């Protein structure tokens, strides 16, 4: 996969030389290129921003500078620049769709991503409009309901989440299967390592039993219980048809019942929102 990042702070992306993503770059699994937006300015001060039309606080990033940069890195006609398939433009913004593992999985199938990191009050809205109108796929994505100073941290988040899904990046692909937010739609069970006793706390006996089926069942129960305690929205999204009788009993023990083919908190009126109960790890692991 090729990823181009355009930013006014290229050094911010240096963290992508580290750890598994850095290794993937060195192994040629990820061709990551970081560009300084100011290289596409045409004035002595290398200006990338100007005052907002309509007035108000802050500065807005100029569309002409972004247009020259993006035409160069992604190809003006949606042909992917150099020679590859059309690039997918990712624009981090707090007003975008919230980035999830599903987005990471979809983006991991692309051959060429271009990430446009905004600063100040953001990028002139015509940039996204123009690239959509010229046949590019454009995703405006937020990494959460808060506001950062720039898109670089969001780019790091997305590139790491996508990069670890590329074949060969994570040493043991099995470790991706049961993770939180995977295909099962659950949070991961709690994990333990040596020593078996620490700070007066014992590793659950079942994990030392060597009994594979019991370990699997315990982990599944913990994943269900943890998800029920911390993320009722994820329990609601489960398809009861994918759960076995034991799964349903675990959820029933936490107040979840199947009604009209979907999971609901017993006592909730259909369609009524409910308060998350903020369960803790201690409350989950019985």
Work out whether 228 is an interface residue with ligand SAM (CB under 6 A): no
Question: What whole-number distance in Å separates Cα of residue 93 and Cα of residue 128?
Answer: 11
Maximum separation of any 2 CA atoms in the chain, in Å: 70
Give the integer Cα–Cα distance in Å for 222 and 190. 7
Which neighbouring-strand residues pair with 34?
5
Q: What minimum distance in Å lies between the beta carbon of 159 and ligand SAM?
A: 13
Number of residues that bind ligand SAM (CB under 6 A): 19
Q: Which of 29, 148, 203, 215 binds ligand SAM (CB under 6 A)?
A: 148
Q: In angstroms, rounded to a whole number, what is the distance separating the alpha carbons of residues 19 and 16? A: 8
Q: Which of 99/189 has CB closer to ligand SAM?
A: 99
Three-state SS sequence of 231-279: CHHHHHCCCHHHCCHHHHHHHHCCCEEEECCEEEECCCCCCCCCCCCCC
- Residue 139 lies near ligand SAM (rule: CB under 6 A): no
At 94, phi and psi to the nearest 5? -65, -15
95 counts as binding ligand SAM under rule CB under 6 A: yes
Any contact of residue 118 with ligand SAM (CB under 6 A)? yes
Is residue 268 within 8 A of residue 274, CB to CB? The reply is: yes
* 250 DSSP 8-state letter: H
Q: Which is nearer to ligand SAM, 144 or 173 (CB)?
A: 144
- Helix, strand, or coil (residue 91): strand
Q: Which residues have CB under 8 Å from 42's CB, separation 6+?
A: none
Asked if 149 interacts with ligand SAM (CB under 6 A), we say yes
3-state secondary structure at position 58? coil
Minimum CB separation of residue 265 from ligand SAM in Å reads 30
Considering the complex, state which of residue 60 and residue 187 has its C-beta at the smaller distance from ligand SAM: 60
Residue with Cβ nearer ligand SAM (42 or 95): 95
Min. distance of Cβ 145 from ligand SAM in angstroms?
Answer: 7
- Binding to ligand SAM by CB under 6 A, coded x per residue (else -) over 98-117, reads -------------------x
Q: Does 151 bind ligand SAM (CB under 6 A)?
A: yes
Residues at the contact surface with ligand SAM, assessed by CB under 6 A: 92-95, 117-119, 121-122, 142-144, 146-151, 154
């Amino acid at each position: 996969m090729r990823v181009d990042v355009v930013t006014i702070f290229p050094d911010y992306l240096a963290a992508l030389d580290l750890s598994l993503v850095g290794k993937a770059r060195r192994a040629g699994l990820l061709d990551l290129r970081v560009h300084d937006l100011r290289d596409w300015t045409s004035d002595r001060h290398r200006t990338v921003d100007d005052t907002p039309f309509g007035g108000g606080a802050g500065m807005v990033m100029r569309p002409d500078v972004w247009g020259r940069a993006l035409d160069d890195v992604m190809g003006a006609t949606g042909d992917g620049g150099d020679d590859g398939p059309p690039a997918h433009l990712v624009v981090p913004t707090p007003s975008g769709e919230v980035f999830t593992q599903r987005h990471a999985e979809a983006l991991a199938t692309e051959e060429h991503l271009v990430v446009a990191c905004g600063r100040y009050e953001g990028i002139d809205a015509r940039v996204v409009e123009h690239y959509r109108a010229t046949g590019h796929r454009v995703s405006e994505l937020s990494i959460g309901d808060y506001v950062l100073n720039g898109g670089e941290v969001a780019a790091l988040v997305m590139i790491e989440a996508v990069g670890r899904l590329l074949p060969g990046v994570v040493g043991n692909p099995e470790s991706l299967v049961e993770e939180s937010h995977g295909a099962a739609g659950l949070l991961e069970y709690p994990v333990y390592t040596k020593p078996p006793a620490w700070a007066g706390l014992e590793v659950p006996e079942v994990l030392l039993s060597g009994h594979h089926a019991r370990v699997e069942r315990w982990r599944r129960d913990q994943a269900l219980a943890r998800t029920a305690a911390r993320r009722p929205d994820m329990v609601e999204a489960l398809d009861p048809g994918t759960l076995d009788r034991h799964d349903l009993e675990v959820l029933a023990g936490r107040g979840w019942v199947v009604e009209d083919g979907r999971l609901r908190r017993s006592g909730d009126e259909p369609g009524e929102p409910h308060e998350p109960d903020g369960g803790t790890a201690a409350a989950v692991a019985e």
